[in-house]
Amino acid sequence: MKGHLYHFDKIVIGGDIRAVLFAYFNDLPIIFTQLQEPVFYERFRWSLDLSSLGIKNLAVSLNTPSGGWSYGIKKDKIWRHLLYILSMSGRVPLSDKIEKIRIEEGNILKITTEHSRLIKFSFDKLVVFDDHNVEGYPSLKAADDPNKVYRVLDWMNVRSGMNHVYDMLEGGDKFVTQIFFYPSERVDGNHKNRKDLVAISYLTKTELDCFEYSDTYARFKVCDRMKEVGIRGKRNGRDPRNPDKYKYYALKIEAVRREVIPLPETDFPEIAEEEGSLIVVRMSDEEIIEWHYNGPNDKLKKLSSRLWKL
């Protein structure tokens, strides 16, 4: 209805897995200006009890040079599942149509959707997990803070050296902390043994501007680490001096793109005490699950359990 003011006691703002979990456990409406699906390599720890989601956590072993590492279920799978549950329950009122949100005095949200349509919500409490395109929300750290830490994903195509047994390599420090391999999307069909990779780093804004932390240096470091664990390039025929041995080309890796993702803020301005309208959540996704061990109302939990088994 044009000009209608919709009211909710509590509203969650955010599109990441923490926001989705919080909305699920508390049976709250959730709105967002961008969806933040977890990256393929992100997993819950294998010992985490997910029964509050109506889901059984299954351990998976990832191959590394030091042996198998046990992890739990993928976070992107849980994120998609719970977002679907919330949608079916009418808790995602504006889907992914929101372009901008403005918080105004009097606990009013002015929401701009596609085609410049305006929708107004009123609320008693607001839970903000992501302030992207949210005006009127005072972020603790300025966008140009040189000490703000970002998660950096360097996606790379492996042109020579795709075929090996490893799923993950440890890098050793904050620049190329981990390297995750995944079946290449450049090759048609199901080829789990042909792998591209993504390198994960944690850098400040100042470091992002330094060439020593560029995707070029990341590629050098990835190549060095792959050589250390014995990963080689394509075969290049047999060694003429020893026909029982093969010769190999050098590793060839191309940097494709770099994603820079701000880490979630763990502290917020103390406006909750002044206005009583902001709920502060300083927990990780796993802490939110453990905090709500008994789960949400039975309706959502049963729906989640039944749909998960399909």
pLDDT tens profile 169-215:
998 889 999 999 999 999 887 788 899 999 999 999 999 999 999 99
How many whole angstroms separate alpha carbon 267 and alpha carbon 182?
A: 34
Is there a contact between 153 and 199 (Cβ–Cβ < 8 Å)?
yes
Using CB atoms within 10 Å of the CB of residue 29, give its burial: 0 to 12 exposed, 13 to 18 middle, 19+ buried: buried
Mean pLDDT lowest among 12-26, 124-138, 193-207, 268-282: 268-282
CATH of span 5-140+265-308 = 3.50.50
For the residues 157-167, what does the mean pLDDT come to? 95
Does residue 33 contact residue 134 with C-beta atoms inside 8 Å?
yes
Residue spans per domain, the chain: 5-140+265-308, 149-261
- Position 154 scores a pLDDT of 98
Average of per-residue pLDDT across 19-45:
94
- Among 162, 164, 167, CA closest to 60: 167
pLDDT confidence of residue 269: 40
**Does the pLDDT at position 143 exceed 80?**
no
Adjacent-strand bridge partners of 103: 109
For residue 286, with 0-12 CB atoms within 10 Å meaning exposed, 13-18 middle and 19 or more buried, which class applies?
middle
DSSP 211: G
pTM for the model stands at: 0.87
Instruction: Indicate the angle between helix axes 298-308 and 75-88, nearest 10 degrees.
Output: 120
CA dihedral 218, 221, 225, 231 (to 10 degrees): 70
Residue pointed to by tokens 């190999």: 248
H or E element: which one contains 75?
Answer: helix 75-88
